[in-house]
Amino acid sequence: MTEIKQCQNCKQEFIIEPDDFAFYEKMNVPPPTFCPDCRYQRRIANRNEWNFYKRDCTLCGNSMVSIYNPSYPGPVYCQPCWWSDKWDPLSYGQDFDFSKTFFEQFFEFRFKVPRVALANSKSINSEYTNQSENNKNCYMVVAVGESEDCMYGNWNRLSKNCMDCWSVMECEIMYECLNCRYDYKCFFTEDSRNSRDLYFCRDCMGCNDCFGCVGLRGKSYCWFNEQLTKEEYQKRLTEISWTHEDIQSIRKRADEFWLKYPRKYYQGRNAINSTGENLGSGDKNVHYGFNVRLSENTSYAQDAWEARDCMDLTETLDNELDYEMEGAGWGANCISMAKSWYNRNSYYSELNFNCHDIFGCMSLRSKSYCIFNKQYTEDEYKNLKEKIIAHMKKTGEWGQFFPAKISPFPYNDSLAQDYFPLTKDEVIARGLKWYDRDVRDYKVTLPHEKLPAKINDVTDSILQEIISCSSQDSETDKASHLRCATAFRLHPAELQFYRRFNLSIPHKCFPCRLQERLARRNPRKLWHRQCMCDGSTSSPQAKNHFHGADKCPNEFETSYAPDRKEIVYCESCYNSEVA
């Protein structure tokens, strides 16, 4: 039976579905007391993706890149030290104190045990990368795997030479692209598949050499959906000067042009009995999922790929029968694990790898039957585990994720500030931490207004310049770009990329470019709406619509809010238009 509850955090009502209750019973946890959005906020308040700091390793003293700012009070080790045998995580073992709550003890414990500066493994020349593995020559990327020569991106996999991209898979030579698969040499393109040489395109499949197009299938040499000859197309393309002003003007024109064409109510293909956005053809019975791939029977998930029989996942990969997970991968039968890979039958632990049957542990590798980093026999572990679970049920902690109040990160360093932004006063009023960063008093040597218009006029000396970020020019931009670096320098590989593909130098710093890129995605919320197709369309495909001249009766859950400008269709009507 569906149950309506009031969120203990935001005080709004939310619904618990019958299938949800079945999952909670299977996991032996009570129903949640927070709504899905507040649960998401709580998980990402425990996660810092993009804020990098220079600090010294607590063990060897060498300078390193870390996601822990200088105010973090506990030990932080560089990756060579943390993965070495120079220290023993079990030496921090402690008994569980039944006179205290679990979270009270874990709050103290997590600041005692050494943490690794970055979650970055098996990578070459990729120092400034986080939550990533098996990369080569990558810079400022997060949640990226098996990629090479990529910069300023996240959720990229098996890709090469991609810059300023979000969620590209098996792609090569991509710039300012979102949610693309199996593409080659595409620029300012979104939601495309199996295409090449696209510019300012959206929702194009199996296309090549198209500019400003939307909703095309198997087309070539099209210009804002107008069919051209190869010669006409190439002539128009050579007439583009690719100055910064040109790029901004074309992007604005493309955005306005795209609005004339209907959009499917969700981004993805052939997701079965699923709701959300950025869903894949392998998804089945996914509820309230965002950027989910190859998953089944999974609900309330964000950036979760290959999940099976799970709920409340954020930034995960290959999980099964897991609940309330953040930054976890290749796990099974776990509850409330954070930044941990290859674990099973484990609970309320963080930064653990290749472990099973652990509870409340930190920074363990290849261990089992441990509680608060103390080793037990299998029988001792199981008996104590049940007692702790009973204790947590009495305190109301069992089934809850780590509270934001005990996060190792200040709220404004966490990913929550990107999705649920708060002012310093709001953060303090909620009892959360705030980090006052040093004043960014960069001595700008090159105002962005004086950047050369064309990349051919840029000399190598620009690598020595400190360029102002154009977001600082207006109060509106400054307010919307909370993480603005105010100024930036170019990376040599970045300059090489711009030169290679005749792209002008950007006028904004990477954090501002990132925020604008993410803002191009739909919000991670759903609204109940009806298909906007009313049968009066004059397109040649109108006769193919199942409802004829009548208004389409189909309803759906969509991430397009009712006040949006886009024309939103159900899958059937949309497919009739683009087929």
DSSP code per residue over 407-457: -SS-GGGSTHHHHS---HHHHHHTT-----PPP-----SB-GGGS-SSGGG
Q: What is the DSSP string of 85-146?
A: SSS-GGGG-----TTS-HHHHHHHHHTTS-EES--EES-BS--SEESEES-BS-EEEES-BS
Instruction: Look up residue 467 and give its amino acid.
Output: I
pLDDT tens figures, 149-186: 999 999 899 999 999 999 999 999 999 999 999 999 99
Sign for the pseudo-dihedral over CA of 247, 252, 258, 263? positive
* Model confidence at 568: pLDDT above 90: yes
Longest dimension (CA), the chain: 79
| Predicted pLDDT at 539 | 58
What is the domain partition of the chain in residue ranges? 448-519, 527-578
Q: Which tens digits make up the pLDDT trace of 478-507?
A: 666 678 899 999 999 999 999 999 999 999
Query: Over the chain, what is the mean pLDDT?
Result: 94
Residue 540 pLDDT > 60, yes or no? Answer: no
Kindly state the average pLDDT of the residues 375-402: 98
CB 177 within 8 A of CB 183: yes
- Per-range mean pLDDT, top range of 93-97, 128-132, 340-344, 419-423: 93-97
Q: Is the pLDDT of residue 81 over 90?
A: yes
Number of Cβ atoms within 10 Å of the Cβ of 477: 16
Q: What pLDDT score was predicted for residue 573?
A: 92
The per-residue pLDDT for range 351-383, each reduced to its tens digit, is 999 999 999 999 999 999 999 999 999 999 999
Report, as an integer, the average pLDDT of 16-34. 95
pLDDT at res. 543: 61
- Tokens 């309803």 sit on residue: 555
Quick check: 284 and 292 in contact, CB under 8 A? no
DSSP H helices in 178-282: 230-238, 244-258
Confidence of residue 550 (pLDDT cuts 50, 70, 90): confident
Instruction: Check whether 538 has a pLDDT greater than 60.
Output: no
Give Cα separations from 337 to 294, 325, 356, 536 (angstroms): 21, 5, 12, 52
Q: Is 436 exposed, middle or buried (0-12, 13-18, 19+ CB in 10 A)?
A: exposed
102 pLDDT above the threshold of 80: yes
> Which helix (H) or strand (E) covers residue 300, if one does?
strand 296-320
Name the pTM for this structure: 0.91
CB 568 within 8 A of CB 532: yes
Could you give the dihedral angle defined by the CA atoms of residues 204, 205, 209 and 211, in that order, rounded to the nearest 10 degrees? 0
Question: So what's the pLDDT on residue 176?
Answer: 97
Over residues 51-77, mean pLDDT? 94
Q: What is the pLDDT of residue 127?
A: 83
Q: Do residues 488 and 467 touch, judged by C-beta distance below 8 A?
A: yes
Segment 430-477, tens digit of pLDDT: 999 999 987 777 899 999 999 999 999 999 999 999 999 999 987 766
341-344/208-211 β-pairing: unpaired
Phi, psi of 467 (to 5 degrees): -100, 135
SS3 of 207, please? Answer: coil
State the pLDDT confidence band at 579, using cuts at 50, 70 and 90.
Answer: low
CA 155/CA 178 separation, integer angstroms: 10
- Nearest CA-CA partner of 202 in 545, 520, 552: 520
Provide, rounded to the nearest whole percent, the portion of the chain with pLDDT above 90.
84
Res. 541 pLDDT band, cuts 50 70 90: low
Q: How confident is the model over 219-226, as a mean pLDDT?
A: 98
Q: Residue 494's pLDDT is what?
A: 97
Q: Kindly state the DSSP code that residue 470 receives in the 8-state scheme.
A: G
* Nearest CA-CA partner of 290 in 337, 280, 133, 282: 280
Percent of the chain at pLDDT > 70 equals 97
Residue among 59, 8, 74 nearest 35 (CA): 8
The DSSP line for 226-247 is EE--HHHHHHHHHT----HHHH
Banded pLDDT at 148 (limits 50, 70, 90): very high
CA angle centred on 141, ends 157 and 190, rounded to 5°: 60
Q: For 307-326, how does the pLDDT look when each residue is reduced to its tens digit (9 = 90+)? A: 999 999 999 999 999 999 99
Q: Can you read off the two tokens belonging to residue 240?
A: 């583009």
Pairing mode, strands 139-142 and 132-133: unpaired
Asked if residues 529 and 502 have their Cβ atoms less than 8 Å apart, the reply is no
Would the pLDDT of 544 be above 80?
no
Q: Say yes or no to pLDDT of 537 above 80.
A: no
Whether 509 has a pLDDT exceeding 60, the answer reads: yes
Q: Indicate whether 15 pLDDT > 80.
A: yes
Q: What is the pLDDT of residues 267-295, one digit of tens each?
A: 988 889 999 999 987 899 999 999 998 99
Higher pLDDT, 419 or 127: 419
